[in-house]
Structure 1
Amino acid sequence: MSSRQTFRALRSATAVNTVLIAAAASAVFVGSYGLFGGETTTKTHGAAAASSSAEVAAELAPFTTADAGSCLNWDIDAQGKVSNFSQTDCSTEHRFEVAAREDLSVYPTSEFGENAQMPNQERQAQLREELCHGATLAYVDGRFDPAGKFSIAPILPPAEAWAQGDRTMLCGLQTTDEKGVAQPFSGRVVEVDQANIAEPGACRAIGDDQVLRTVDCAEPHQLETVSIVDLSQQFPQGTPSIDDQNKFLSERCTQAVEDYLGGEEALYQSTLQPYWGSLAESSWNGGSRSVNCSLMHVNRQTKTFSAITGSAKNGRESLTIDGATPAAPPTRNPLRNP
């Protein structure tokens, strides 16, 4: 069996892990609600808005005038304090695209009345499902990949504005890092690739909560990213089947990991194998087009990912696999001319 046939067999043996990766990707952004609500408000946007009436008015204007189609941006310092909240052109970097504007004062109970406290994180999560989810899907005309990098989230006004009676809630789309901090992106969500991918050289770990996170390669991880592949270039006519994606990516990703490590022999000596993602029809229809090629190791007993520490770029001697230094692979017979 050739090395590439071997890698295809390994891919088949570990295909069950694709389900794990998909579940992890869809869970990454759960929990990033209420950027300016509850406790977060006091520490960030609310703190920035509380100094004077004039400053409050200036800070509130971009929030109170935002509506569906508006794009919002703000700065975040090392302590998590938010400042310079503003509306901006969606073609430039921003952190939030507004899909709908909700007035909680007309909510069919007295829950958000004159003296009501801001909803806590749990209640904001419920409001996301009750008020934001459907409105946001309608805004993007259903073009949303639930396993992609964007998440649906609400943001509330600063604490100072809430205390003065503002019950506006903005529903929209954002992409966050592994800590739940909204990250800048450019372009409208329906116009960009929604795939949840990592940059080459990034190491990614699957935690006990089944969330896929980018970590330092010196920490235990399951995948080391080597490249990004835009599948729309190979499949411009429509959604490719998983089999067609695998056939294409088997060659593309094997070549990518060889290039990343410095050749086929370097890959063999690493004891690692190529791995790639694939896009379900729902993700493709939702707007995702790219996948990662990565390096991984299979635990032969459990048939799941091994835990790797170190970067494969530094050679087998710099790695541990499931806590042990990987043994040298068997010596191969010299290649012979046909």
Structure 2
Amino acid sequence: MAGAFVGALAILTLSMVFSWPVAGGKQSPADVAAENLAAAFEAPAGSCLNWKPDGSDMKPVGCDQPHLFEVTGDVDISAEYNASAPSPTEEAWREIAKQKCTTGAATYLGGKLDPFGKYSVGALKPSDEQWRDGDRKLRCGLQRAAPSGNTLVATTGSAKNQDQSDVYDPGTCLALVNKNVGDPIRCAEEHAYEITAVVDLAQIFKDAAPDEAQQQAAMLEQCTKLTNDYSGGLDLASKKLLLTWDTRKPESWEAGSHHAVCKVGAPLPDNTGLAPITGSIKDAGPAAQSSAPATPSSAASPPPSSGG
């Protein structure tokens, strides 16, 4: 539901604009915003929506363009909330969206929604003004939340045609927040991990779903080679860095999520989290060195836990 607040903010910000009539002749920016929002309100399943970081200018865009929300359907909750009912709390809205939108989202994806994948179920709720006017329609959709859950990550292409693995492209760095993983950030800033490769496990395991041990062995081999190529042969241990990777859970594999990432980080010696890294390992210089104390680890090691 990370996007529910963003969506509600956009609707609240522009709802008064939405009611303005569109005059003839040259349109003002407010007129254009009103038309965009009207189209977003009525966007059918399969439509994609985008908006600015401040929640303004919500509008439909082609799904082949970067977008923050893909509509999977509408849900009317007027049976549970009559005309005199107060607007639900934010916590209640999250539960309503979970109960009302999840099944439809899975159906929209052909019955396969990876519970550990990059897509989460979200909803755009009526603003307080719309609620008072009797709007009880919830716009359900799919979105990609950043690791923090506080922001959304734009995606390109319909979710129907995507491998749902929660992966980022090589060269992406993820922020360090309280010794843990945060949102994508510039590699020049302190970060927790740098993604060095994406492995398609379906190309390795073509006949049957691999178990955890098989995935670990395959990722060890692939990540060692691919990360060495990515970094230009950097000795990770000399920089106090550790190669790790994700694997896919059975539920993810069944949903068609077969990609996993190789990544480089710097676990703290006491295993309480991650140390900050500054600079890309592609630079292979002092700037890429972790500030963590040296640890007696090899250049390649399995991750502490499996990914989705």
Q: TM-score, normalised by structure 1?
A: 0.71
| Cα distance change, pair 73–32 in 1 and its aligned pair in 2 (3 A) | closer
Partner of 1:72: 48
| Cα distance change, pair 64–268 in 1 and its aligned pair in 2 (3 A) | closer
Partner of 2:57: 83
Listed one character per residue, the Cα deviations across residues 102-123 of structure 1 (whole Å, up to 9, x for unaligned) are 112222x43xx25x66544323
What amino acid does structure 2 have at the position aligned with 1:283? S
Partner of 2:277: 309
Query: How big is the shift at 1:252?
Result: 1.2
Query: How big is the shift at 1:192?
Result: 0.6
Cα RMSD after superposing both structures: 3.3
What are the within-5 Å matches in structure 2 for residues 1-338 of structure 1? 31-37=2-8, 39=9, 41-43=11-13, 45-46=14-15, 48-49=17-18, 52-54=20-22, 55=31, 58-59=35-36, 61-67=38-44, 69-76=45-52, 80-83=54-57, 85-86=59-60, 90=63, 93-107=66-80, 109-110=81-82, 113=83, 118-157=87-126, 161-177=130-146, 178=148, 179-181=150-152, 183-187=154-158, 189-205=159-175, 207-208=177-178, 212-263=182-233, 266-300=235-269, 302-303=270-271, 305-311=273-279, 312-315=281-284, 317-319=286-288, 321-322=290-291
What amino acid does structure 2 have at the position aligned with 1:97? E
**Higher helix share goes to which structure?**
1
Instruction: Please identify, of 120-129 and 314-323, the stretch whose mean Cα deviation from structure 2 is larger.
Output: 314-323
| Cα distance change, pair 181–223 in 1 and its aligned pair in 2 (3 A) | closer
Is the Cα–Cα contact under 8 Å of residues 277 and 292 in structure 1 kept in the other structure? yes
| Cα distance change, pair 151–210 in 1 and its aligned pair in 2 (3 A) | farther
Larger Rg: 1
Distance in 2 of aligned mates of 1:91 and 1:222: 31
Partner of 2:25: none
Query: How big is the shift at 1:218?
Result: 4.5
Identity of aligned residues (%): 24
Q: How many residues get paired?
A: 285
Q: TM-score, normalised by structure 2?
A: 0.77
Query: How big is the shift at 1:94?
Result: 3.9
Is the Cα–Cα contact under 8 Å of residues 75 and 140 in structure 2 kept in the other structure? yes
Distance in 1 of aligned mates of 2:50 and 2:203: 35
Listed one character per residue, the Cα deviations across residues 191-223 of structure 1 (whole Å, up to 9, x for unaligned) are 211111122222224534966422333544332
What amino acid does structure 2 have at the position aligned with 1:35? V
| 1:291 alignment partner, SS class | strand
Tell me, which stretches of 5 or more residues in structure 2 are unaligned? 23-30, 298-308
Partner of 2:301: none
Query: How big is the shift at 1:286?
Result: 2.1
| Cα distance change, pair 216–271 in 1 and its aligned pair in 2 (3 A) | same
Query: How big is the shift at 1:186?
Result: 0.7
Instruction: Please identify, of 221-230 and 116-125, the stretch whose mean Cα deviation from structure 2 is larger.
Output: 116-125
Listed one character per residue, the Cα deviations across residues 315-336 of structure 1 (whole Å, up to 9, x for unaligned) are 3522554555x69x9xxxxxxx
Distance in 2 of aligned mates of 1:144 and 1:260: 32
